[in-house]
Amino acid sequence: MPPVPSEAPLRIDRRAGSAIVWILLLTLPFWINATGGYTELGTRVVILALAATALNFLLGYTGVLSFGHAAYFGLGAYGAGLTLKYLVPSTPLAILIGVAAAAVAAAVVGALIVRLRGIYFAMVTIAFGQVFYFVAYRWNTVTGGDDGLSGWHRQPIDLGIGTLDIFHSSRAFYYLALAGFALSVGIMAALLRSPFGRTLLAIRENERRARFLGIPTDRHIWLSWLISCIFVGFSGTLYAMLNNFADPHDLRWDQSGDFVIMAVLGGMRSFWGPLIGAAIFVVLQDYISSQTENWMSFVGLFFVIVVLFFPRGVLGIIGRRSAS
């Protein structure tokens, strides 16, 4: 993402850091088992990292707090699941339809709420998210209700030169998810580097001044919201295919909270922040919940500690260290 004036210290190391991250991600299926993990854990990290990065497009770079992103994540998930179950057994089409569903919903809701700010915006996003949650939870005949949407699975992708069997090979699916992640963060980074992205930063820094400069801030925030939701929806489609299942919980407000904490934990103002946040959060939750059934206390405590002691996130701290 574009260099932010206040975070200059990381700039020198950025290339080296990026290279290390990509190498680690590309080789992940080959070393994760040795560390006691498993491929699906890596896939989950990458998919949720995509969701957190997408949320951060809005949160970290436009300065708008959404606590209802799970709705669009879930819409992507159900869009993909319903397509595979009822329409066509095609993975690319499932992704496309899932993303489209999230985009349409986000466009409409966004138009309704774009005038609201701060805490009010956060509350309303939660509440609107719940509408979609209840639709998924209650509309038994279509969504499977509480039982979730099952009886379908991701389909191998025909590449023309050969078939990528993402159904039987969890490694193949990991690389599909990684490709999706790379593509998405690439697009988001490019957007942020464009004049549009600069404008978003200007709105984040001082909305009133931006408006005085003649920037239609509402429309920019709406666009940023839409872009963010589209990529969250994309990660939702991948998540549904990871589990071969879509579940109302994907749309619930506590899922939204998880995305926010991932972004904050890693560092909202850093390129790799949400990825690192997602990795720490997913691995920690996976690990603690195997050790103790009181894992909720630990996760809760973790939230509290991050807020009180590491509000700038892991990368924020490193950035500050190297600055001094």
Residue 248 vs 267, nearer CB to another protein: 248
Q: Is 40 in the site for another protein (CB under 8 A)?
A: yes
Is position 72 an interface residue for another protein (rule: CB under 8 A)?
no
Regarding 61 and contact with another protein (CB under 8 A), the answer is: no
- The secondary structure of 135-171 as a DSSP string is HHHH-HHHH-GGG-B-S-----EE-SSSEE-TTT-HH
Instruction: Looking at residues 250 to 289 of the shown chain, list those that interact with another protein (rule: CB under 8 A).
Output: 250, 252-254, 257, 260-261, 264, 283-284, 286-287, 289
Which residues lie below 8 Å from residue 141, measured CB to CB, with a gap of 6+? Answer: none
3 sits near another protein (criterion: CB under 8 A): no
Distance CA 116, CA 310 (A): 28
Q: CB under 8 Å to 90, separation ≥6 — which residues?
A: 83, 84, 155
In degrees and rounded to multiples of 5, residue 246 shows phi and psi of -120, 145
Residues 5-24 touching another protein, rule: CB under 8 A, are none
Among 170, 211, 215, 317, binds another protein (CB under 8 A): 170
CB-CB neighbours of 206 under 10 Å: 12
Of 111-140, which residues contact another protein (CB under 8 A)?
112-113, 115-120, 122-124, 126-128, 130-131, 134-135, 137-140
Q: Does 300 bind another protein (CB under 8 A)?
A: yes
- Taking each helix axis as running N to C, give the angle between helix 39-59 and helix 253-266, from 0 to 180 degrees, rounded to the nearest 10: 80
Name, in order, each residue with C-beta under 8 angstroms of 79's C-beta and a sequence gap of 6 or more: 94, 97, 98, 99, 100, 101, 102, 233, 236, 237
> Residue 67 interacts with another protein (CB under 8 A)?
yes
- If one asks whether residue 310 binds another protein (CB under 8 A), the answer comes out as no
Among residues 86 and 139, whose Cβ is nearest to another protein?
139
Q: Taking CB under 8 A as the rule, does residue 208 contact another protein?
A: no
With binding defined as CB under 8 A, does residue 37 bind another protein? Answer: yes
